[in-house]
Structure 1
Amino acid sequence: MSTSASTPGQASGRDAGKSGRNLLKAVPGVLISLFFLWYTFKGISYEEMRGLRLAHPVWILGVLGFTLAGYTLRCVRWTTMMRPTGARFSACARVLMVSLAANNILPLRIGDIMRVFTYADDLGASPSVILSTVILEKLLDIFTLVVLFAATMSSIATHRLHVIVYVSLAVSALGLLVLLLGARALQPHVSRLFQRYGKNPKLAKAEHWVMLALDAVARIGIAGSLLLLAQSAVIWFCEGMIYLASINLVGIRGDHVSAWLAVSFANLSYLIPSSPGSIGPFELAVKTALVSHGAAAPQAAVFSLALHVWLLVSITGAGGVIFLVHRIRTHNHRPLLEEIETLPAEMP
């Protein structure tokens, strides 16, 4: 008689094989990050790296204050999105900060997946509803970054690139306004449009995500959607002020545009596949933006690394502390890696 039960040795072998495959998946991202770091710092001597100094220490208060304000407002914005579910600010803030910390240290945006699945019970909402708010959050951030990118690229772009940037901005703005103001009316039309092209699995997933975003906007309403747009603008203003305060802190030469160009470049660099936290692409993006506005390359390179370390340590540290405090309060002793292994490999 045959049996389907596996022995402990077989189970451990499968676990080891799975861990090995997961490790191999992370290797390309690490190699990409190493290449970008090498390219950012090539030709810069150790003595040049040591040249970065705190020129105006009072700006430390600006870095701390705008970091706190920006991420507090992110928690407020997500609470606004989750308001129809009855989720409280304390739960939303905890889950969001933990997910941001996880995104910084774990591959494949696992923090976002944890927000949707692991913490659904904590938020009192279904995974599909949470996913709809995550999609809307990303759309708002991308639109705000496109606006910032278009506004700052004019300082270094050619005439032809100006046209492309402003056309892209106009299309993005029109699309976002239609989404915010007419989400409920759009739902049946979008559904019919997707059905016209058959039952392709990729199209079905795209339809699912689009309909989730439309449903999230429809539940919030027009006034709530405009509030979200205003909150997004303030959030990214605070992000820009972190960069500006940091630049003034170390006295890097530049103009009033360089910090905002660095914000748009740095955050768009997260679209490049690399290690968690976009280590490497972030540094090159910030350096490129600052050098294009008169900063010295060695200073800009070291500054980009120091700024990235601050952002990673502050957000990951805050999320990690919140995570540990909550686990202690709820007497949760389940290993974190065990929770992660139960998550789906990708968003539904």
Structure 2
Amino acid sequence: MSASSKRNLVKTIPGLLVSAFFLWYTFKGISFSQIRALRFTHPAWIAGVLAFTCASYTLRCVRWTRMMRSTRAGFGVCARVLMTSLAANNILPFRIGDIMRVFTYSGDLGASPSVILSTVILEKLLDIFILVLLFVVFMGPGVNPHSRVVAESLLGISTVGLLVMLLGARTLEPLLRKLFAYLPANPTLAPKLQKIEHWVLLALDCIRQIGILGSLLLLVQSAVIWVCEGMIFVSSARLIGLAVDRIGPWQGVSVANLSYLIPSSPGAIGTFEWAVKTSLVSHGALKPQSALFSLALHAWLLISVTGAGGLIFLIHRIRIHNHTPLLEEIETLPTELP
């Protein structure tokens, strides 16, 4: 094992400990007999789980293809790269999947890493905005006041970030050019400043080409994506006959996905289960059923997304005759934008 691999392994230990704590906290007091009691009470809802899962991730691929329109990358390539990166995020630490999307597949996408990075940031901003909006809309009167303040603050920050990226790119570009022109011509800093200017202007140009109408369409697509994601939660709850009110699954989808912001193991194992259980219990569901529901649903999402992305990844590697071990490829990733 190389020195960098050993360092990365040490860095993952705190995340694993966080996940272990949240798993223990979520499932403490639940007996094995309660786990065995989990049943499909309404099997027809399996179709809903499958349909909304396919719809959610197909629409994610469509959305990212639209973000990458300036590169002329087609739907097939964008879908392959996105699903591969999502699968990698689920099994590898440090959001390696997003790093691979920016660096490893820039050649396949015909785009510079800075352009891809700008779309990844925009994608995260759109998702956080919709998720926080869902949380604010569906949080009940009994929510902790501190949680309400944090949620409303996140909503404000994500709204400002979206407005700056989507509506301010055309205005920011000339201002940033002037700013970089006024910076002192230090021989040591000049090359790095030129790189930063190049990255920033490329990213703004990518966002600018999307346009206001295109930005609004991306926002609508993001809302539809998260409605589909919410329906996965609703369908799963109906599938096992979980006794919860109508708001519970929708608060669950927002809190569960925001839990990915908590440093933990890849795939947010532990934090996801805790977030879903807490949300459902606050809306009338029993603790054992809520905990088991969160585990089963998370397992489905991890297996389906990681399985689909991993299969696409392997088929592509076989087709292009790439036999380099994945971990070796990851160790050769650059540490900064070229």
Query: What TM-score do the two structures reach when normalised by structure 2?
Result: 0.89
How far has the Cα of 1:33 moved from its partner?
0.6
The answer to whether 1:133 aligns with 2:119 is yes
CA distance in structure 2 between the aligned counterparts of 1:165 and 1:104, rounded to whole angstroms: 25
Deviations 1:185-238 (A, max 9, x none): 133446778999999x9xx89999876654332121111111111110111111
Which blocks of at least 5 consecutive residues in structure 1 are unaligned? 1-14
Structure 2 partner of 1:152: 138
Counterpart residue number, 2:39: 53
Structure 1 CA distance for aligned equivalents of residues 106 and 146 of structure 2: 47
Cα distance, 1:134 vs. partner?
A: 0.8
**Matched-pair contact (CA < 8 Å) for 1:113–1:347:** no
Once the 2 structures are TM-superposed, how far is the Cα of residue 256 of structure 1 from its aligned partner?
1.0
Aligned to 1:9: none
User: Does structure 2 conserve the Cα–Cα contact (< 8 Å) formed by 1:120 and 1:126?
Assistant: yes
Describe how 1:286-297 pairs up with structure 2 within 5 A.
Answer: 286-297=276-287
C-alpha offsets along residues 262-293 of structure 1, whole Å, 9 cap, x if unaligned? 01110110011111000000000000000000
From 18, 29, 37, the counterpart of 1:43: 29
Listed as ranges, the gaps of 5+ residues in structure 2 are none
State which of 202, 208, 212 in structure 2 corresponds to 1:218. 208
Structure 2 vs 1, CA of residues 193 and 311 (structure 1 numbering), >3 Å: closer, same or farther? Answer: farther
Pair 297,213 (structure 1): closer, same or farther in 2 beyond 3 Å? farther
Residue 109 (structure 1) aligned to one of 95, 102, 118: 95
Tell me how far apart the structure 2 counterparts of residues 134 and 316 of structure 1 sit (CA, whole Å): 19
Which has the larger displacement, 185-194 or 59-68? 185-194
**Candidates 9, 14, 21, aligned match of 1:28:** 14
Distance 1:241 1:234 in 2: 10
Structural mapping, 1:157-196, within 5 Å = 157=143, 165-166=151-152, 169=155, 172-173=158-159, 175-189=161-175
Do structure 1's residue 84 and structure 2's residue 65 form an aligned pair? Answer: no
Q: What's the offset of the Cα at 1:328? A: 1.2
The residue aligned with 2:323 is: 333
1:161 deviates by 6.4
Distance 1:158 1:329 in 2: 53
Instruction: Return the letter of the residue paired with 1:298.
Output: P
Q: 1:180 & 1:118 partners in 2: Cα distance? A: 26
How far apart are the structure 2 equivalents of 1:219 and 1:128?
A: 15
Alignment partner, residue 309 of structure 1: 299
Q: Which moved more, 1:226-235 or 1:207-216?
A: 207-216
SS in 2 for 1:26: helix
CA distance in 2, matches of 1:292, 1:74: 30
1:174, distance to aligned residue in structure 2 (A): 5.2
Q: 2:50 aligns with which of 41, 46, 64?
A: 64
Instruction: Tell me the CA shift for residue 53 of structure 1.
Output: 1.3
Alpha carbons of 1:37 and 1:178: their partners in 2 closer, same or farther (altered >3 Å)? same
SS in 2 for 1:57: coil
Q: Does 1:17 align with 2:18?
A: no
CA contact (8 A) 1:97 1:318 kept: yes
Q: CA deviation at 1:50?
A: 2.1
Q: Look up the equivalent residue of 1:340 and give its one-letter code.
A: I
What TM-score do the two structures reach when normalised by structure 1?
0.86
**What residue is the counterpart of 1:259 in the other structure?**
249
Shift of 1:17: 3.2
CA contact (8 A) 1:66 1:241 kept: yes
Per-residue CA distance 1:95-137 (angstroms, 9 max, x = gap): 0000000000000000001011111111111111111111111
Report how far residue 23 of structure 1 moved.
1.6
Asked if 1:299 corresponds to 2:289, the answer is: yes
CA distance in 1 between partners of 2:183 and 2:284 (Å):
51
Q: Which moved more, 1:147-156 or 1:15-24?
A: 15-24
Tell me how far apart the structure 1 counterparts of residues 233 and 309 of structure 2 sit (CA, whole Å).
Answer: 21
Structure 1 residues 168 and 22: CA distance shift in structure 2, 3 A:
closer
